[in-house]
Structure formats: structure tokens, C-alpha cells
Amino acid sequence: MSKKLRVATTSLAGCFGCHMSLLDIDERLFPLLDLIEFDRSPLTDIKHCGPCDIGLIEGGICNAENVHVLREFRKNCKILIAIGSCAITGGLPAQRNHLDLGSCLTEVYLTEPGLAHGHIPNDPELPLPLDKVHPLHEVVKIDYFIPGCPPSGDAIWKFLTDLIAGKTPELGHGLIKYD
Amino acid sequence: MSDTFQLDGKPVSFEKGQTVMQAALAAGHYIPHLCYHPEFKPHGSCKVCTVKVGGRTTASCTMPAEAGLNVESDIDEMNGLRRTLVQMLFAEGNHFCPSCEKSGNCMLQALGYDLEVHTAGFRHLYPDRPLDASHPDILLDFNRCILCELCVRASAEVDGKNVFALSGRGITKHLIVNAESGLLKDTDIALTDKAMQVCPVGVILPKRVGFSVPIGQRRYDQRPISAQALDDAPRQADAGGSCAACEGTP
């Protein structure tokens, strides 16, 4: 048995749906875990990404912390994969790109009916939102893209098993989708 | 008696006056396309139908068929070019398929699937063109427009209404509504118009009928676009290799 591949995963401006879709491979998780072990991931307790073979990232880039995490992954992962529409195009969150960020925050935290004593959160602990939402490839180099919102468990399984087997991952009709 | 040319090494017969695209589709050979529609004159804007003829690339929708041509279409080089063109269209608009009611029935999306487009790759433009929801029955989302002009052609040539036009130059070129107010409600467009049927993407949408087809039963869920585009193509047997709109007599 050769050494297991190390895989890190994270969700940036994502909805965790792509991670749920990863779990949708169901009992195939067990054979997968014979081949890989998880590094930093929402599924583990590891706080920072160490040297890895594969990094899987869902979600686009919407705030400063997203940028730091993405760069940490790029620095540590030999192969970086953008998974899901958000990571690939900005996704539905990028529909805020035609709105003014200030008026978005004002509406949600100040002028929304039903708010009492609202204020726009300003603690330095909180990451500042970026003016626009961006796909990952606009910030770092991305090696592979698995489209879908989310990609199906079957698509993720096919892609990962192709990659782990050393083949160029292929999806084909039925597995490649954008919605 | 008809002549023939070679398409990917296979003989394709054609009638005089047919383009390479028309002859190929009539003979049951698919060439990827977006702005070409069998009922309208060729447009030549999407360039997805580009083929190699005698070592040069050319749009097969406008290239007249000639005896003895050697046309290469389904080769890595042309499919690679098509992939880049489709990526450019995706980067240029707001193609958020997850919330688009045309998803599953969209030619641009189906071509992306066929060409294995996993990412637009380019920096996204994120255009900001306001929707036109003024009409009681019809919605326009201009941020998905690929400028194929099929609605412009259908409205002018078939409906005789001239509801749509393209305006502006270069990257700012965009679809407009031909009304003094610029609003669809001030035109005489109707749900039954040809212009309502021809949009290959999700720009012109009838209101209140979105998401009515279950996932799995939408047009491109079951078979890739390459396997069913021929369903729309006129056959030589029933159309004589031509069609009324192509001859300018709607």
C-alpha cells in the first residue's frame, strides 16, 4: 500500500452544498478513505492547511479572510481544485456584483424594517467584505474545475478517482453540469 | 444530380446555393452552432461553427458548398477553438445557470457540456444591464445575451414587428427594445411571436412558467445537443434543402 494522498478542503463564499455533495458519495467514502486522508477540512479539526496533494475549494472569494485561506491552500497543495459554480464563476453570490456594497450593508444592518438599534458590524475581528465577489482563478492558479451547483456525488467521485488513479479527470454527458 | 464535398472524410451531397452548414445538417451531420437557425439567413456572429477548409478556418454557416471541398470540423483543433469561444461567451455575460430558468434547455450551456467546458477561464465581465420586466407577460434579462440576433431577425422577418435591435459598439454592444421608452411594454410583442421562440439562451422569457419541467426531463438533460440538433434541421426530402425564411419570403 503506497502512502495515502493528503487532501484538504474548505468552503469560502460557499454554502457547504459542495461538501454535502462530496458526502453524497455515501459508502464510497470508505474506499476513498483507504486512498486519502484529510488535512484541514470542515470535516476535521485541523486549523491550518499543511503540505497536501490535493486541495478542494468550494465557494468564491467575497472577503479578506477568503483570500488568505485561498493563498494558504495554494501554497500547500500540489493540485488545487475549484469545486462548484461559486468557486468557478463567483456563482449566485456574484449577483451582488452589480450592487453597491455600502448600500447592501446599510440595507441589511441599518434600514431593514424590524431592526432595533442596528449598526454595520465594525469589529476588526470580522473580515472586511470585498467590493465584488470573484471566482478563485482570478486570485490564484487553479489546476482543475468541477462544475455544478453542486456537482453530483457521482461527478465528484469520478473526478477524484480519475485523478487519484493518475488519469486526466473526465466527466462527460450527465456528470458535467452547471446547475 | 447533386455534387459532393468531403466533411471529416465523409462525402456530403449538396444542392446548388446551400452553405456547408445547410448541406451538412440536411445530410445528418452535426456542426456545432449557436447563431445559426435553419429557418433564418446565416448570421456569422458566434463563430462556433468554424471549420477548416483547405487549411483555412471559416464559418461553415456562410461558406458556400462547392464540389470537392475538404472540410474538417470534428477535429481537436476546431473543437478547441469552439471551447474557447464558448468560454468567452460565458465570461462575457452573467450566466448563473443555477438560478436561470433556461437551464437544461439552453444551447450555450448544452454546447459547454458537449465541449467539456469546466470553467470560463477568463476574467468575468459581470455586465450590469437592468432587466426589463415592464411587459405583463414577458421578461428580458439582457445580461445573458450572446448577440446572435435571432430575436432581431425573427421579429423583423417573421413577425414583421421589429421589436429588437442591437446597439452600441465593441464590448458595449447590447440588445435593445425598439420603443421610444426603450421598454418592452411599449411594443406590440406577443407571446405567440416567433421572436419568443428563438432565443438560444435565457434572455427572452415568458413570465410565470419558469422551472415547470422537472430536472431530468429538460431538453438537454437526456441527450447532448450534438445528438439532437439535427431534429431542428430541415431535411432535403421535405424542404428541398431550403426554407422560406432563407429565401426572404416569410
The interface predicted TM-score of the complex, written ipTM, equals 0.94
Residue B93 has pLDDT above 80, yes or no: yes
- Angle, CA B151 vertex, CA B145 and CA B154 arms, to 5°: 165
Alpha carbon dihedral B48, A98, A128, A17, in 10-degree steps, equals -60
Q: How many other C-beta atoms are found inside a 10 Å radius of the C-beta of residue B190?
A: 14
- Answer whether A15's CB lies under 8 Å from A93's CB: no
CB proximity A138 to B under 8 Å: yes
DSSP, residue by residue, B127-141: -----B--SSSEEE-
**Cβ-nearest to B118 among A92, A94, A145:** A145
Of residues B99, B223, B224, nearest to A92 (C-beta): B99
Determine the 3-state secondary structure of A1 from DSSP: coil
Q: Which residues of B206-242 are buried (b: 16+ CB within 10 A; e: fewer)?
A: eeeeeeeeeeeebebbeebbbeebbeebbebeebebb
Selected residue of B116, B118, B123, B131 to mutate for chain A interface (largest A Cβ count, 10 A): B118
Task: Using CA coordinates, name the residue in chain A closest to B123.
Answer: A138
SS3 state of residue A169:
coil
At residue B246, the pLDDT reads 42
For chain A, say whether B121 makes contact (Cβ under 8 Å).
yes
- Among B36, B90, B15, CA closest to A145: B90
Mean pLDDT, to the nearest integer, of A123-134? 97
Work out whether the CA dihedral B94, B99, B103, B109 comes out positive or negative.
positive
Instruction: Tell me which chain B residues have a C-beta less than 8 angstroms from the C-beta of A177.
Output: 113
Give the one of A82, A98, A178 whose C-beta lies nearest to B128's C-beta.
A98
Set of chain B residues whose Cβ sits within 8 Å of the Cβ of A94? 94, 96, 124, 126
Instruction: Show residues of chain B in contact with A98, CB under 8 Å.
Output: 126, 128
Backbone phi, then psi, for B68, in 5-degree steps?
Answer: 85, 0
A149 touches chain B (CB under 8 A): yes
For residue B48, give how far its alpha carbon lies from the nearest alpha carbon of chain A (Å): 19
Mean pLDDT of A131-159: 98
pLDDT tens-digit readout, B142-198: 999 999 999 999 999 999 999 999 999 999 999 999 999 999 999 999 999 999 999
| Cα A115 to Cα B242: distance, rounded to the nearest angstrom | 65
Distance of alpha carbon A80 from the chain centroid: 11
Return the SS3 of B58: strand
Mean pLDDT computed over A42-53: 98
State the pLDDT at residue B231: 84
Q: For residue A179, list chain B residues with Cβ-Cβ distance below 8 A.
A: 97-98, 100, 103-104, 109
Which residue's C-alpha cell is 473526478? Answer: A159
Q: Cβ contacts (< 8 Å) between A145 and chain B: which residues?
A: 118-119
> B163: left (phi > 0), else alpha (psi -120 to 50), else beta?
alpha
Indicate if the pLDDT at residue B210 is higher than 80.
Answer: yes
pTM for this prediction = 0.93
Q: Is A177 exposed, middle or buried (0-12, 13-18, 19+ CB in 10 A)?
A: buried
